[in-house]
Amino acid sequence: MTTITNSKQWHDLQAHQKQIAKLRMQDLFDENPSRFSQFSQQLENILFDYSKNLITSETIALLCDFAKKNNLNSKIEALFRGDAINITENRPALHTALRNPASTLTVNNKNIMTDIHSSLNKMFEFSDKVRTKVWLGATGKPITDIVNIGIGGSHLGPLLTTHALKDFSLTDLRCHFVSNIDLVHLHDVLEKINAETTLFIISSKSFSTIETLTNANTIKEWLQNQLGNASFATHFVAVTAAPKKALAFGIPEAQIFPLWEWVGGRYSIWSAVALPLILYIGKDNFLDFLKGANAIDVHFQQAEFSKNIPVLMALIGIWYVNFFDVTKHVILPYAHTLNYFPLYVQQADMESNGKSISLTGETVDYATGPAVWGEQGCNGQHAFFQSLHQGYTFIPADFILVADQHSAHQNILVGSGLSQAQALMQGKSFTKIVNELITSGSSEADAKKLALHKVIPGNRPSNTLFLQSMTPYNLGALIALYEHKIFVQSVLWNINSFDQWGVELGKELLPVILSHLQNDTSTTLDSSTQGLINFYKSHG
Ligand code: F6P
């Protein structure tokens, strides 16, 4: 048993769970008219309502105690100070520095803020040139389209943010994304653009990701076939922590935007990885985006745990994962602007906390990061909500609502989110359904038979994050909330959020498979993989 599962705080939470599991949330609301004000909190433009959870004030007190006893405070300080908390790669995780307005932050005797600010200025100057049509393509035409070539953290951040902040675009530049290695994806993009007026951004922290580099090479060839070899230099820029590799690829030094080893890929939207966004929304809007995230950083460092939104989000998640054996978490943005948010959080959360080895190298004896997925509302309602309401186990949900423009459409959208959260909590009883069926003409026997299938258990928990409006500031804040939630969970699970060794094995095995696909059979494969390769080779 680890010290975590063997601690007094853990045992207290286990005992408390036995009492709570018997309670009905609806009763808790009926008994306490101030439950909403007790379990909700507004921070600037975001309201966080966590009252529809299987919690009482004792639950929160016990969870906060658990966090304190596990030194969460000192771990938060270590994160912001730039300690090498990514112990397997001996690096800090300093994404918070990228949105810190301070002029000094010394890490390993170096003031990293100087590099951060000069990188920002380089991006602002470059994007101004593109937007004002000073930057021209090889044939002298201004840029009309941007293509981001990147995957994972070098894709999802720009995808999410450019889509979410469409209304803040200062330009008619069109943004496209090539992430997958599948040529279908590449062709889909290439057929929409004109080589003469397109700027390609190769975004890769390592500049060695096979999907990104293969796509970049194919596009380079496509461009040079149309515009000649010399065209390359004006149509390609790179964002990377490996500038030598970008230089070797042929990108001029002045067109390489730096990243640093201490920025994790899935935490990199605050860095040069945001170049498509900056091209799109400009300097002031981007600075607002950083400010929103920084406001959450300040709150996260200063607020006591019982009033600290990311800490509460994390603790409530742990409550379900570790004390109710829940293995999933669903993200439900009721806003088309946040269409890509579930995907974004999925990578941030699962690549960070999908770990089962503790910081001291033992296999943990408790559950860690849940499977995270989601879909924008109302679409999700017509896909998987059936399972949220009547599935075998409950799945905690985060509803994310946006309060701007009170149009008829928006009322239905927000109303749907609210009614789904309510339905998950309230459920519908057998007696009520029988009565309704009888009132609408069924016999009592038929009503009782059908009602068995129509019972909705309810008591299914959710958080609601309500944004006053979709702005760069609020989006920055929303993303930072989830980043810190994930960090807090990693601290309390005693795992390293900032490495991703699990992703490496597949990358290591790929070359062997590729050699088999090219008829090199010098190595032996398992019969399943071999059988599948045989099928592939005999078709196509
Ligand atoms: O999928 C693993 C991963 O390493 C992610 O963490 C990262 O965001 C992505 O690949 C892309 O990596 P890079 O930016 O180095 O191309």
Count of other CB atoms within 10 angstroms of residue 175: 20
Annotation says 539 is catalytic: no
Is residue 507 part of the annotated active site? The answer reads yes
Mean pLDDT across the chain: 96
Distance (Å) from CA 99 to ligand 1 centroid: 21
User: Is residue 154 within 6 Å of ligand 1 at its C-beta?
Assistant: yes
* Residue showing tokens 């109710």: 324
Instruction: Give the domain 95-287 fold.
Output: Rossmann fold (3.40.50)
Euclidean distance between CA atoms 244 and 260, whole angstroms: 13
Catalytic residue among 95, 220, 329, 351: 351
What is the C-alpha separation between 60 and 2, in angstroms, rounded?
23
Structure token digits, residue 292: 């929103």
Q: Is the CB of 420 under 6 A from ligand 1?
A: no
The reply to whether 351 belongs to the active site is yes
- pLDDT band (50, 70, 90) for residue 374: very high
Alpha-carbon span 444 to 63, nearest angstrom: 47
> In terms of Cα–Cα distance, which of 181, 163, 171 is closest to 145?
171
Class of residue 498 by CB neighbours under 10 A (exposed 0-12, middle 13-18, buried 19+): buried
CATH says 8-69+303-426+460-493 is which class? alpha beta
Determine contact, residues 396/326, Cβ cutoff 8 Å: yes
pLDDT on residue 29: 98
How far, in Å, CA of 241 to CA of 22, rounded? 52
Residue of 209, 267, 343 with the most ligand 1 atoms within 8 Å of its CB, for mutation: 209
Give pLDDT tens digits for 99-146. 999 999 998 899 999 999 999 999 999 999 999 999 999 999 999 999
pLDDT digits (tens, 9 = 90+) for 159-178: 999 999 999 999 999 999 99
- Catalytic residue of the set 8, 68, 307, 507: 507
In the structure, what pLDDT confidence band is assigned to residue 155 with cuts at 50, 70 and 90? very high
Quick one: what percent of the chain has pLDDT higher than 90?
A: 96
| pLDDT for residue 357 | 97
Identity (one letter) of the amino acid at 368? T
Atom of ligand 1 nearest to the CA of 154: 14
Chain segment 175-215, per-residue pLDDT in tens: 999 999 999 999 999 999 999 999 999 999 999 999 999 99
Atom 5 of ligand 1, nearest CA residue: 152
Nearest CA to ligand 1 atom 16: 204
* Other CB atoms within 10 Å distance of the CB of residue 435: 13
Residue 1 pLDDT level (bands cut at 50, 70, 90): low
User: Is residue 37 classed exposed, middle or buried when 0-12, 13-18 and 19+ CB atoms within 10 A define those classes?
Assistant: exposed
pLDDT at residue number 108: 86
Residue 540 has pLDDT above 80, yes or no: no
Query: Which single residue is written with the structure tokens 């009520």?
Result: 432
Cβ(266) – ligand 1 distance below 6 Å: yes
